[in-house]
Amino acid sequence: MAKEIERKFLVRSDAWRTEATSSADLIQAYVAVGEDRSVRVRLLDRKTARLTVKIGRNLLARDEYEYEIPVGDAEELIRAGVGTAIEKVRYNVPRDGLVWEIDVFRGAYEGLVVAEVELGSEDETPPIPVWIGREVTGDRRYSNMVMAMEGLPRELLHGLSHPTV
């Protein structure tokens, strides 16, 4: 069983851009959601696709299973998804032995920029770069699943303390 342990933060500036080593255009939708689980489909650069099952209520650490699927299947599943499809560009920023994933949202969430870092254990504390803002790990409003199913209040989207990226 795979365990996903990640912390999530708002991004306060675009200073991370000089450290980014790669990026990918992502479109993701939810096929099924429950109180403590979700099934997500994700299309990366319209070239590869993955189906992901997440189980657990804790937003810091959850069980995660991920599988490659055909792009055509992913496109069909995205069209059949529930809620709003999430569009974003994900940048990878290696730093201090970790890889920060910076999500610059497009479409319905244009203007939102969130950073995630995967950790080896729940008690690990990563060094925080200067471009990182407020931690939102436990704030369910910033969960991609919640944003897809319930939306994000406009004041949280545009009231961030970073410039538009």
How many whole angstroms separate alpha carbon 140 and alpha carbon 133?
Answer: 17
Which residues, in sequence order, are CB contacts of 76 under 8 Å at separation 6+?
A: none
Calpha distance 115→102 (Å, rounded): 4
Residues 24 and 44: beta-carbon distance below 8 Å: yes
Q: Which of 30, 91, 109, 142 is catalytic?
A: 30
Task: Give the three-state DSSP class for 154.
Answer: helix
Active site residue 91: no
Give CA angle at 27 (25, 33), nearest 5°. Answer: 145
Instruction: Identify the helix (H) or strand (E) that includes residue 55.
Output: strand 48-55
Rounded to whole angstroms, the Cα distance separating 155 from 93 reads 27
Which residues are tagged catalytic? 30
